[in-house]
Structure 1
């Protein structure tokens, strides 16, 4: 692979439909069905979880066996068993497998809180000794990335393996708007929450698609909707914020009442489809957007498939990303991920930690490139050291799922790379330019993250398990329940239920955790 070393500093972890490529032609040369090497000796075995996002076409195989898994087994010298975990139920599924003694050797997720819970349960083990004894490439990588160390440790020991996110994987949430609708209605790009609400009302009431029907909405969205509204007010329900010298959970800040008020207003005024409460997979929301019936899309910074479908359905649509709007509390960036990417932990019952380390070493040592991008000349060609997709539709089918198998990588594209990486058809090139703009917009305003990671201790994990369904029920009542359930009522109920479940003690322990682990850093 020519110029791969240069790509190693270029290249991170997002699903770029227009350019991701897989790995190999699916050849199983060099391996046999019983997991043996060519010389007849048995390969070391290791099992690892993989998130099932439903992206593998039936004729491509399954999440357990496909062209990517075959390539890894062929080239790594390992027999790697992939254990699919449904993305929407990932922690529940892992918990079930752990309880049954059937969890894979390596497990990964993105949430450090969850890994802390597994550590407290005794389900995972420290890995310092394994890294020191067996690793070369990953050990060197860690030394070159000291910023990752705080995310890998509990109680002074390393429990987590990870690699740094590329800029494209740090960026996450984003807002998109139909510029052609703004232009038609003589509206300016909104910069404040009040202006945004005015625009949403106009998109709903003033027939921006010109069909003479009252059939448009202010906004549609994916699962990032509430997180975006929370970020605009710096009151993310899943994070803790510093208020003075104390840390406070996001949904107990006074700002959270404004989050509820905004979500309620959007629902009450019909600026969003009222059925979204029961649209758990957001497929109706997506359909509203791609068929041209919504003017704003609260979603992710990278939406290649939605953009392509919108342009196919409404060729004259002009979609652009726009910056977070300010509120009375100021202007804050939308959600951005912390620097650590996939968080990989070692099952306490794993049989061959050396094989696990070998997989991590093999992956971080440039092989992640082939896992992500596939065969040169088949899935991409190199242009100025950047992989350019040869056929967007081929790559979309064969390997949109491939990057997730690169559990460690060093990919971090620049905004200007997208035009090179994309296929050469008109829509792909048009979107590639927008993609670069969207990444720039997504990173322009820093997301407010007052502490690098949340408190972690057993009492907090326990109360959150009980509190989560109660808070969802309360917030749904506020949003959908009319004048009877005000945001102020909602805040009172949230605080009351937290207190009833032992929240005062948890808040005290959280403050002690902060004083011990983070104050002064």
Structure 2
């Protein structure tokens, strides 16, 4: 529900299969070890580097594992570097990296999407500056940075470069989104909602007026994935993972007055059964997904690109018409849904790494066009080029072989245009239908600017410690508000949140956050 969860937009493959991987060698790029027996001469051993990879459970068993598959073999063969990939489960990535660091077993390179976490690693002395390495060993990445000065603020701490990154494409800046069953609106004679009151009216109708026409009371106003809370928060400009400027004063999102409205809306949705009440325990949101793809939910709070869900819905309910829905306005105005900052994956160098030259060589190799083959696979097998755009040959084949591929391109320059999707998609009817809607969804996702008052959150140890202690307490309080009926209301919830923050030393954190803002961002 927070910032780090955006990254499911990377499931850009799905039915469109726009993720790739070029042909791979059969030997998997094994190290060429010293061999003097045959001719008395030494063969140079390949450089080695280790790096994390997010494990999203997308590698099919016959594709291999996150450590070894067609993508890893291709990279090893073509880059000339023996790359060891260290999987970290996506939902526990930072915990796993912390464990590896504490045990002295962390890989040479580690990456995540959150700058806050990288700041913590810097404060702990777990990572090192990389300015000298880039200057000494890099060519392609060094030139890329010169062409993208907007990335510089996201890579630096204390005047030194600690992070390597590349710019997000527009498809990766867009993230959260809403969808609505247009066919249900039409059947019930309803207009597309533009305000929160209208949206609630529509969802009540979807629940009560049998929009699927089966004579049963079995439809819901909405279903959602892990972006649900973040979407509601964004429409009220009260994102719990961000800091806002209120009269030039730093205020954490869940302590704004607007957050009371967030809790109130989530509670109303639950109390009126506009959503499935079991979602509180549906940690992987699989039941929520089923509600959408089986045609039982009228609104879907999720991501701008839902290729796999769309395909399944059309297979189950061929007449369904699911279309993108703009964020609706509230009494505070109209705000865009969550959009990512311009920096993509944030890569840091372990302070104990053995071969920084190999690490930089890998980054150079990746940014210098090779990311394309890592993402899109082998021409003639996974895609054919149409006006320079890779067109999927077989959606199902690519879904299996390439769905997991994009994140191995730790640096890339991918940024598709909305009109590219129809070209990239496979030629089957559902893929082509979705490609047109996907292009529209991207436009809708970027139409309204997401409110981000400062480019990135403050980072300092006191904040990290307090936030770590506060998060589980906040979740408990908010669950009570949402599920507790008349016993707990939104006003009680916001009061309790502020009380717990204060008890944990939040007043001092707020003071330090204000000082951080005035030192680092104000007037700049």
- Work out which of the residue numbers 7, 13, 18 in structure 2 matches 1:16: 13
- Pairing 1:369–2:367 present: no
CA–CA distance in structure 2, aligned partners of residues 306 and 153 of structure 1? 38
Distance 1:151 1:510 in 2: 18
- Structure 2 CA distance for aligned equivalents of residues 24 and 385 of structure 1: 16
For residues 20-169 of structure 1, the aligned pairs below 5 Å read: 20-28=18-26, 31-32=29-30, 40-169=43-172
Q: CA deviation at 1:158?
A: 0.3
* 2-structure distance, mates of 1:512, 1:24: 50
CA apart distance, 1:483: 1.0
Q: Offset of 1:29 from its aligned partner?
A: 5.5
Tell me the secondary structure at the aligned position of residue 213 of structure 1: coil
SS at match of 1:505: helix
1:39 offset after TM fit, Å? 7.8
| Residue segments in structure 2 that go unaligned for 5+ positions in a row | 1-8, 36-40
Confirm or deny: 8 A CA contact 1:164 1:341 kept in the other structure: yes
Does structure 2 conserve the Cα–Cα contact (< 8 Å) formed by 1:159 and 1:346?
Answer: yes
- The aligned runs of 1:22-421 (5 Å cut-off) are 22-28=20-26, 31-32=29-30, 40-421=43-424
Partner in structure 2 of residue 482 of structure 1:
485
Which of 440, 454, 458 aligns to 2:457? It is 454
Alpha-carbon distance in 2 for matches of 1:400, 1:288:
23
In structure 2, do the counterparts of structure 1 residues 380 and 176 end up closer, same or farther at CA, with 3 Å as the change threshold?
A: same
Q: Which moved further from structure 2: 25-34 or 333-342? A: 25-34
SS in 2 for 1:388: strand
* Cα-Cα RMSD: 1.4
Q: Secondary structure at the match of 1:81?
A: strand
The answer to whether the Cα contact below 8 Å between 2:138 and 2:361 also exists between their aligned partners in 1 is: yes
Question: Is contact 1:14–1:169 with CA below 8 Å preserved after alignment?
Answer: no
Contact 1:16–1:302, Cα closer than 8 Å, also in 2:
no
- Is 2:499 the counterpart of 1:463? no
Aligned residues: 510
Q: C-alpha displacement at 1:24, in angstroms? A: 3.0
- Residue 19 of structure 1 contacts residue 422 of structure 1 at CA under 8 Å; is this kept in 2? yes
Deviation at 1:484, TM superposition (A): 1.1
Displaced runs of 4 or more, over 4 A: 33-39
Give the TM-score taking structure 2 as reference length.
Answer: 0.96
Judge conservation of contact 2:329–2:335 (CA < 8 Å) in 1.
yes
Which secondary structure does the structure 1 equivalent of 2:120 belong to? helix
Name the CA distance, whole Å, in 1 between partners of 2:499 and 2:273: 30
**Contact kept? 1:148, 1:339, Cα under 8 Å:** yes
Per-residue deviation, 1:25:
3.5
